[in-house]
Chain A
Amino acid sequence: SQQGEEDPQALSIQEGENATMNCSYKTSINNLQWYRQNSGRGLVHLILIRSNEREKHSGRLRVTLDTSKKSSSLLITASRAADTASYFCATAAYPFGNEKLTFGTGTRLTIIP
């Protein structure tokens, strides 16, 4: 079964706008990660947030984590055409499972030039 569920499933925005996508998960976690997948390619790691962190930034990316609601959000600011991709959250289960990640179903983001 899927641990993470992303919302929305698909999102189209104008270039320059901000994009927000959400992830909900079911069990307690050690950390939550976001990955990007360009069409026809493998996944690429974007950012990791630990269960004892609430917010993290990396360039134009901002990730929040609310462990009480078992949810996370990924914000991409000032979007560019190159941000067009699918985005997946992935969780590492607590207390075990530091080797394994469980991936969500993804959000397909389209940036309109």
Chain B
Amino acid sequence: NAGVTQTPKFQVLKTGQSMTLQCAQDMNHNSMYWYRQDPGMGLRLIYYSASEGTTDKGEVPNGYNVSRLNKREFSLRLESAAPSQTSVYFCASSQPGLAGVMAKNIQYFGAGTRLSVL
């Protein structure tokens, strides 16, 4: 199994350019996530999709849009890239199962996309 696959691995953009980060999972998970990781900040949730057909904002959604194309694929789009969006982006998936204390919401991560905006 490939698990969670992200493309591309590296990208350099100029300010104002647009691009889409792709993510696909082969574990039949309902939930998918996009995070950004900046030095000293840990991971911050950008958007997530609890199930196919639904998306919700996370902690830092401004400047981003997402599409849950089908159960396998969840893409992140930067419409007009800014230097503040220079970061490492991670996609993850999970199958939360039961709610509450019995939830087993372990997340599986892709290898990341390293994005620089000049």
Contacts and interface: CB of A to CB of B under 8 A. Distances in A.
Contacts of A51: 101
Nearest to B3: A42
B73 to A, nearest CB: 17
Nearest to B110: A42
B42 A31 contact: no
Given A98-B99, A106-B42, A42 B104 contact: no
Given A88-B42, A99-B96, A103-B43, A42 B103 contact: no
Contacts of A50: 101-102
A92 B105 contact: yes
Nearest to B49: A99
Chain B, interface residues (CB within 8 Å), range: 20 to 34
A54 interface: no
Contact of A98 (B44, B45, B59, B96): B96
Contact of B106 (A48, A88, A94, A105): A48
Given A43-B90, A99-B48, A105 B109 contact: no
Interface in A40-59: 40-45, 48, 50-52
Interface string B103-118: 1111111111000000
Interface of A is mostly: loop
23 contacts: A1-B59, A2-B41, A30-B100, A31-B101, A31-B103, A42-B110, A43-B43, A43-B92, A45-B106, A45-B108, A50-B102, A52-B101, A94-B101, A98-B96, A98-B97, A98-B98, A98-B103, A99-B31, A99-B96, A100-B33, A102-B45, A103-B43, A103-B44
Interface of A: 1-2, 4, 30-31, 33, 40-45, 48, 50-52, 88, 90, 92, 94-95, 98-106
